[in-house]
Structure 1
Amino acid sequence: MMYSIVYTTTSSKDEARKIAAKLVEKKLAACVNIHAIDSLYSWEGNIEEDEEFALSIKTITSKVQEITENTRKMHSYELPAIISWEISGESDYLKWIADSVK
């Protein structure tokens, strides 16, 4: 089995919690960490700076597409950053992820 983290950012803590809760409730994610961050980015020719909330969504790789689709539906951004990467880790923890999303 393969494991992934899906990463996205939101404009508010409430939005981050809403997305996180839905993904865990639907058993698409085992755990979602939410962190307040400062973001600097280029948007429509300007340099923007905002406080955002980053979500680290822990899951099995086969759920990444469904997480992406669900997150996109709930997201307020016109173009949300939704990216993922495969991970490895301690075997008991990875088993917990797999057991939580099945």
Structure 2
Amino acid sequence: MTDIAIVQASFGDPAEAALVARKLLEERLAACTSLMPVTSIYRWQDVTQEAAETVMTAKTTIELATQVAARIGQLHSYDLPVIERWPVAVDEAVAAWVRDATG
């Protein structure tokens, strides 16, 4: 098993999420992105909120994860985008594909 990184962020607009996802691919920062509709329930400015959001996950290398998170932050419309990243163990063939697609 080899580690890659997953970088995740939520967006209020599915079109914005798709735009950011495509940008990451065009810039070879990610090998793959996935978009999923979710309902988020959270506290913001001391009020419980509920919103339809789109979660975007991006598969990238460990080395690029910080750069991917920074790029998402640059493109994101939220005042405080929550951008999470973590290592994920995958088969070597998948890791090789991610390295090739981002190299």
The verdict on a shared fold, with TM-score over 0.5 as the criterion, is: yes
* 1:72 match: 73
Aligned to 2:89: 88
Match of 1:39 in 2: 40
Percentage of matched positions with identical amino acids: 27
Give, in whole Å, the separation in 1 of the partners of 2:73 and 2:25: 16
What is the aligned-residue RMSD (CA, Å)? Answer: 1.0
- How many equivalent residue pairs? 102
Q: Which amino acid aligns with 1:5?
A: I
Contact 2:69-2:85 within 8 A present in 1 as well? no
Q: What secondary structure is seen at the aligned counterpart in 1 of 2:17? A: helix
Instruction: Tell me which residue corresponds to 1:15.
Output: 16
8 Å contact from structure 2 (residues 31, 101) kept in 1: yes
Query: Over residues 36-58 of structure 1, what are the superposed CA-to-partner deviations in whole Å (9 max), with x where a residue is unaligned?
Result: 00000000100000000001110
Question: Shift of the alpha carbon at 1:90?
Answer: 1.9
CA distance in 1, matches of 2:73, 2:31: 19
- TM-aligned CA deviation for residue 4 of structure 1: 0.5
Q: Would the aligned equivalents of 2:3 and 2:95 in 1 still touch at CA under 8 Å? A: no
> 5+ unaligned residues in a row in structure 1: which ranges?
none
Q: Distance in 2 between matches of 1:65 and 1:57?
A: 12
Give, in whole Å, the separation in 1 of the partners of 2:11 and 2:90. Answer: 27
